[in-house]
Amino acid sequence: MMVKKSFAKVNIFLKIVGVRDNYHLLASRFVLVKDLYDEVSFIEKSVDSFTLIGDFSCSLEKNTVYKAYKELEKYEIVREFFKKYIVKIDKKIPEFAGLGGGSSNCATFLNMVNDICNLNLTKDELSKIGAKIGADIPFFIYEYDSANVSGIGEIVEEFIEEPLKIEVVTPNILCNTALIYKTFRENYYKELDKEKAKELFATNSKDILKSFSIKEANDLYESALSLNPDLKEFEKEKWFFSGSGSSFFKVL
């Protein structure tokens, strides 16, 4: 059996710097949460077609891991492999949580298949495949503990800093990413200027959070709050908001 951890992430800060079609251009620091992860396993079992088991709320066709398989099924070695192995995902990362669980699973799967089937794709090539499936996937492909992420998520630059211990709380509130971005664009739109973004990209995560309020750190927070007012109850000093929510986090 082959198994690999698929970590959650938080966005230490998430600032909007522009738009591209229906998407938003970001300047964001992504950090892996090392003690919150799903496990992706390939288990030996003969099957007729690609088989994915796990506790998901979506259909197989919508699953990011299935979408990744569809991108790789042009390789005969991949088609043959998944006739002999099934994929099992042990889910611990809550869904719709701003923790990138689905994106992380997809990237972990792409990295595992690349290694096990000797596809010899580079991280950049895998990242391009991932970006077709979801904006957050490239970050997880590179496996950096901490990175500056820009574009709509496809530009990932490692940021070297001390390992961070992060505590996460996920309220049982479903935050719809697409709607939160749409509401941001219609009602709360603002852009961070390029120089400020550069400054943030050069500053370590702990120092950034010392100087920011929850709203200042995450441009999507106001929009998420307007759509889900119950989030307000979870606001506490030194706690921040990840991505489009609903998770809050604290750096210990």
Q: Which of residues 89-108 bind ligand ADP (CB under 6 A)?
A: 95-103, 105
111 lies in the binding site for ligand SUD (CB under 6 A): no
Nearest residue (CB) to ligand ADP, 142 versus 241: 241
57 lies in the binding site for ligand ADP (CB under 6 A): yes
Q: Tell me the C-alpha distance between 106 and 66, whole Å.
A: 8
Angle subtended by helix axes 123-133 and 64-72, to nearest 10: 130
228 lies in the binding site for ligand ADP (CB under 6 A): no
23-31, 66-74, 192-200, 232-240 -> range binding ligand SUD (CB under 6 A) = 23-31
Q: Could you say which DSSP state residue 156 is in?
A: E
Query: In the bound complex, what is the minimum distance in angstroms from residue 224's beta carbon to ligand ADP?
Result: 11
Q: Tell me the C-alpha distance between 87 and 24, whole Å.
A: 33
Q: Tell me the C-alpha distance between 43 and 62, whole Å.
A: 22
Nearest residue (CB) to ligand ADP, 143 versus 204: 143
Nearest residue (CB) to ligand SUD, 22 versus 187: 22
φ/ψ of 250, rounded to 5, equals -135, 135
In 3D space, the residue among 45, 43, 50, 35 whose CA is nearest the CA of residue 5 turns out to be 35
Quote the tokens at residue 33.
Answer: 């949460």
189 lies in the binding site for ligand SUD (CB under 6 A): no
Q: Quick check: 30 and 233 in contact, CB under 8 A?
A: no
147 lies in the binding site for ligand SUD (CB under 6 A): no
In 3D space, the residue among 116, 144, 112 whose CA is nearest the CA of residue 126 turns out to be 112
φ/ψ of 168, rounded to 5, equals -125, 140
Q: Which of residues 60-99 bind ligand SUD (CB under 6 A)?
A: 98
132 lies in the binding site for ligand ADP (CB under 6 A): no
Q: Which of residues 23-42 bind ligand ADP (CB under 6 A)?
A: none
Amino acid at 104: S
Which of 11, 28, 63, 108 is the binder for ligand ADP (CB under 6 A)?
63
Query: In the bound complex, what is the minimum distance in angstroms from residue 187's beta carbon to ligand SUD?
Result: 14
Residue 18: which region, alpha, beta or left (left: phi > 0; alpha: psi -120 to 50)? left
135 lies in the binding site for ligand SUD (CB under 6 A): yes
Q: Quick check: 75 and 115 in contact, CB under 8 A?
A: no
Task: Catalog residues that contact ligand SUD under the rule CB under 6 A.
Answer: 11, 14, 22-24, 26, 98, 100, 103, 134-136, 152-153, 177-178, 181, 243-244
Q: Write out the binding residues for ATP.
A: 94-104
Task: Catalog residues that contact ligand ADP under the rule CB under 6 A.
Answer: 56-58, 62-65, 95-103, 105, 177
